[in-house]
């Protein structure tokens, strides 16, 4: 989809779902297309332009167009989940290709890369996301086909300099793909910084209500590589249901309001608890003390995201006890929704995790910030 209206601001495009109305009734909200198949003409052509819903579904059109517009992309695709979106990128590679991925990244994707892509013949190596030198050295030594970036990255919110990584990628002809789930297209536009692909777990901020599992990719160029990714979606069958696509568009219409509220709440909470006696560290890129703050201030606009982590001074038992005492935050995994969530992250990642065991990950929602602050205060006491 290339349906861009450059004169309108992202907030307007989001609120109006691209401003489209649906024929023939002029619906302000798009209908849901549940058909799996579409009638052929007597001449065997497809006059409606659709063939079979594993390849494409009209229910995706508006959400894909909106995401492409928000990212400044040539095209966007919805997937059955964030993992399915990421998997399509890696499956579009060829055995023998090299991938550089960050050491700190969404753990389930890291595990999937090692369990599926490595046996399939893709050479996966990891760089230190907080160190451009580490990335530069690995890029020049390994000359990868693909550099995967997650910024801010789970669960310490390390920041990778996307523009600098893209310059390194150009030296060796690599593709840069950015998991921008936490930044959202409102805070960072990776394609403008030189990336070719952006990935979202649309389960998180794009949808924003903890009621849809979905994923998305956006591309700088609608080229052969993008068509291969499209084929990975349709051929592999990692397709989103039409109702989920409809819910996703509904969620995206308030993306700007939710992201702004979550960023403001997270910044206030980070500042309030930075230096607290019960905490060894507050990890949030909006704090000057965060190692990625300077780069984040350059590549994130309008806020530093809604994700922060607390490291408890007294270690793992204190971290688990802290989550047990929370009353307003819900103890649950996931992120990017209107309600605030807290999670002892090492527990979900399981044995072998690199996540510090004293770390509690907070996904800050859009509640009144004073209620969130009081809840953390009483749980730390
Ligand atoms: C940063 C990030 N990327 C990717 C994913 C995977 O997305 P999904 O759960 O929609 O498959 C997640 C899920 O937690 C995530 O947090």
pLDDT band with cut points at 50, 70 and 90 for residue 4: low
Catalytic residue among 204, 253, 311, 361: 204
| Ligand 1: nearest atom to the Cα of 336 | 16
Position 153 scores a pLDDT of 97
The chain-wide mean pLDDT, for the chain, equals 96
Provide the token pair at 209. Answer: 């209500």
Nearest residue (by CA) to ligand 1, atom 9, is 82
Q: Which of the listed residues 101, 106, 207, 305 should we mutate to test ligand 1's pocket, taking the one with most ligand atoms within 8 A of CB?
A: 106
Burial of 250 (0-12, 13-18, 19+ CB in 10 A): middle
Q: What would the pLDDT profile of 247-281 be if each residue is shown by its tens digit?
A: 999 999 999 999 999 999 999 999 999 999 999 99
User: Is pLDDT above 70 for 38?
Assistant: yes
Q: Per-residue pLDDT averaged across 111-128, rounded? A: 97
> Catalytic annotation on 128?
no
Position 350 scores a pLDDT of 85
Catalytic residue among 56, 61, 179, 358: 179
**Close Cβ partners of 9 (under 8 Å, ≥ 6 residues apart):** none
C-alpha–C-alpha distance, residues 43 and 48, integer Å: 13
Q: Which residue has the tokens 């709440």?
A: 265
User: Is pLDDT above 70 for 1?
Assistant: no
User: Is pLDDT above 90 for 246?
Assistant: yes
User: Is pLDDT above 60 for 3?
Assistant: no
User: Is pLDDT above 80 for 306?
Assistant: yes
Provide the token pair at 216. Answer: 């998305």
Position 2 scores a pLDDT of 52
Tell which phi-psi region holds residue 341, choosing left (phi > 0), alpha (psi between -120 and 50) or beta: beta
Position 66 scores a pLDDT of 98
Provide the token pair at 192. Answer: 């403008």
What residue ranges line ligand 1, CB within 6 angstroms? 81-83, 106, 109, 150, 154, 179, 181-182, 201, 203, 213, 215, 334-335
Provide the token pair at 118. Answer: 């490595």
* Segment (H or E) for 68: helix 61-71
> Catalytic annotation on 179?
yes
Position 318 scores a pLDDT of 98
Which range, of 159-173, 191-205, 345-359, averages the lowest pLDDT?
A: 345-359
DSSP string, 126-159: EE-TT-HHHHHHHHHHH--SEEEEESSBTTTTB-
C-alpha–C-alpha distance, residues 269 and 277, integer Å: 15
- Residues β-bridged to residue 361: 309, 343
pLDDT band with cut points at 50, 70 and 90 for residue 351: confident
Position 369 scores a pLDDT of 98
Q: Per-residue pLDDT averaged across 38-58, rounded? A: 96
Report the 10 Å Cβ neighbour count for 347: 15
Report how far apart, in Å, the C-alpha atoms of 319 and of each of 66, 181, 315 are: 40, 25, 6
Q: What is the reported pTM? A: 0.97
User: Is pLDDT above 60 for 5?
Assistant: no
C-alpha–C-alpha distance, residues 150 and 157, integer Å: 9
Cα 83 to ligand 1 centre (Å): 6
The one-character DSSP state at 106 is -
Q: What would the pLDDT profile of 134-166 be if each residue is shown by its tens digit?
A: 999 999 999 999 999 999 999 999 999 999 999
C-alpha–C-alpha distance, residues 201 and 221, integer Å: 21
Report the 10 Å Cβ neighbour count for 133: 9
Q: Per-residue pLDDT averaged across 200-223, rounded? A: 98
C-alpha–C-alpha distance, residues 312 and 345, integer Å: 13
Catalytic residue among 56, 61, 97, 106: 106
User: Is pLDDT above 70 for 6?
Assistant: no
């Amino acid at each position: 989809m290339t349906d861009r209206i450059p004169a309108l601001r992202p907030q307007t495009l989001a609120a109006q779902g691209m401003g489209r109305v649906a024929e023939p009734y002029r619906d302000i909200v798009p209908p849901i297309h549940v058909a799996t198949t579409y009638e052929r003409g007597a001449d065997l052509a497809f006059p409606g332009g659709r063939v079979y819903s594993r390849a494409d579904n009209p229910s995706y059109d508006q959400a894909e167009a909106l995401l492409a517009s928000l990212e400044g992309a040539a095209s966007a695709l919805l997937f059955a989940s964030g993992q399915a979106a990421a998997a399509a990128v890696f499956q579009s590679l060829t055995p023998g290709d090299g991938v550089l991925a960050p050491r700190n990244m969404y753990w389930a994707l890291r595990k999937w890369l090692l369990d599926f892509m490595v046996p399939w013949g893709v050479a996966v190596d990891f760089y230190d996301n907080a160190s451009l030198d580490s990335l530069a050295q690995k890029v020049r030594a390994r000359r990868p086909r693909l550099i995967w970036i997650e910024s801010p990255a789970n669960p310490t919110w390390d920041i990778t300099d996307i523009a600098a990584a893209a310059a390194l990628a150009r030296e060796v002809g690599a593709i840069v793909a950015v998991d921008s789930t936490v930044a959202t297209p409102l805070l960072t536009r990776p394609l403008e910084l030189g990336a070719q692909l952006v990935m979202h777990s649309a389960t998180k901020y794009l949808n924003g209500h903890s009621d849809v599992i979905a994923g998305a990719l956006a591309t700088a160029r609608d080229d052969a590589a993008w068509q291969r990714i499209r084929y990975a979606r349709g051929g592999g069958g990692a397709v989103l249901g039409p109702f989920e696509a409809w819910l996703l568009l509904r969620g995206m219409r308030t993306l700007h309001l939710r992201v702004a509220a979550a960023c403001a709440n997270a910044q206030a909470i980070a500042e309030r608890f930075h230096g607290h006696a019960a905490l060894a560290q507050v990890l949030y890129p909006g704090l000057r003390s965060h190692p990625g703050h300077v780069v984040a201030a350059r590549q994130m606009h309008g806020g530093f995201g809604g994700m922060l982590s607390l490291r408890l001074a007294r270690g793992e038992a204190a971290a688990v006890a802290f989550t047990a005492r929370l009353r307003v935050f819900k103890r649950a995994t996931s992120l990017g929704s209107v309600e605030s969530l807290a999670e002892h992250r090492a527990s979900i990642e399981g044995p072998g995790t690199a996540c510090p065991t004293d770390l509690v990950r907070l996904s800050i929602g859009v509640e009144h910030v004073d209620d969130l602050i009081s809840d953390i205060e009483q749980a730390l006491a």
